Structure 1
Amino acid sequence: MWQQIIVAVIVLVALMHFSAKYLPLAWRQRIVYTLGKRGFNEARLAKLFKTNGGGGCGDGGGCSNCGPSSCDTPTDATTHKRVIKLHVQR
């Protein structure tokens, strides 16, 4: 009995880690929204799933809902992009 409970907790923690790290942003936002409607703390869920809880430029909706000055400044996500150079041999 206890072994099954412990295994279930470990599987749930692994599922939460996978969801927070590898799911697309739109899916993570949808999970936060759905669980928030069910009574969970939306701010905590947004922090856990690494999404913006309040909207704005970083919510994936583009810059349509924020001012031009905030969209012109680079964020952490845009300054840490990596480039992989491919060398094609023919």
Structure 2
Amino acid sequence: MWQELIVAVIVAACAFHAATKYLPAAWRRQIVYALARRGFNQDKLAKLFKTQSSCGDGCGSCGSCETPAAAPDAPKDTGVARRVIQLRVQR
């Protein structure tokens, strides 16, 4: 009896982890909205399922309504050399 209960808890935890990590973002958002309609805290669920707020909810996180920053006149040297990886295609 106890073994079956422990296995059920482990399987449920693994399924929950897989749902929070590997499901597509649209499915995770639907899960968050469905659970929020049933009384769960939407902010905590969104953080747990790693879903980002959309532009439609007015959160301002997407930055689409902000004014763009002024472009600098001269490019800055970041010290990072850019490398190009050339691929050789064999046919």
Q: In which range does the TM-score fall when normalised by the shorter chain?
A: 0.5 to 0.7
Report runs of 4+ in structure 1 exceeding 6 Å deviation.
none
Query: For 1:58-77, what per-residue CA distance to the aligned partner results, in whole angstroms no more than 9, with x for missing partners?
Result: xxxxx7xx41547xxxxxxx
Give the aligned length: 70
- Relative to 1, partners in 2 of residues 1:45 and 1:68: Cα closer, same or farther, differing over 3 Å? same
Q: Percent identity?
A: 54
Query: For 1:18-43, what per-residue CA distance to the aligned partner results, in whole angstroms no more than 9, with x for missing partners?
Result: 11111110000000000111112211
- Relative to 1, partners in 2 of residues 1:89 and 1:4: Cα closer, same or farther, differing over 3 Å? same
* Alignment partner, residue 10 of structure 1: 10
Between the aligned partners of 2:20 and 2:87, the Cα distance in structure 1 is 30
- Relative to 1, partners in 2 of residues 1:56 and 1:88: Cα closer, same or farther, differing over 3 Å? same
Q: Compare CA radii of gyration and give the structure with the larger one.
A: 2
- Relative to 1, partners in 2 of residues 1:88 and 1:32: Cα closer, same or farther, differing over 3 Å? same
Task: Give the TM-score taking structure 2 as reference length.
Answer: 0.61
- Relative to 1, partners in 2 of residues 1:88 and 1:43: Cα closer, same or farther, differing over 3 Å? same
Measured on the aligned residues, the alpha-carbon RMSD in Å equals: 2.8
Kindly indicate whether residue 49 of structure 2 is the aligned counterpart of residue 46 of structure 1.
Answer: no
Kindly indicate whether residue 36 of structure 2 is the aligned counterpart of residue 32 of structure 1.
Answer: no
Deviation (angstroms), 1:49? 0.6
Deviation (angstroms), 1:86? 5.9
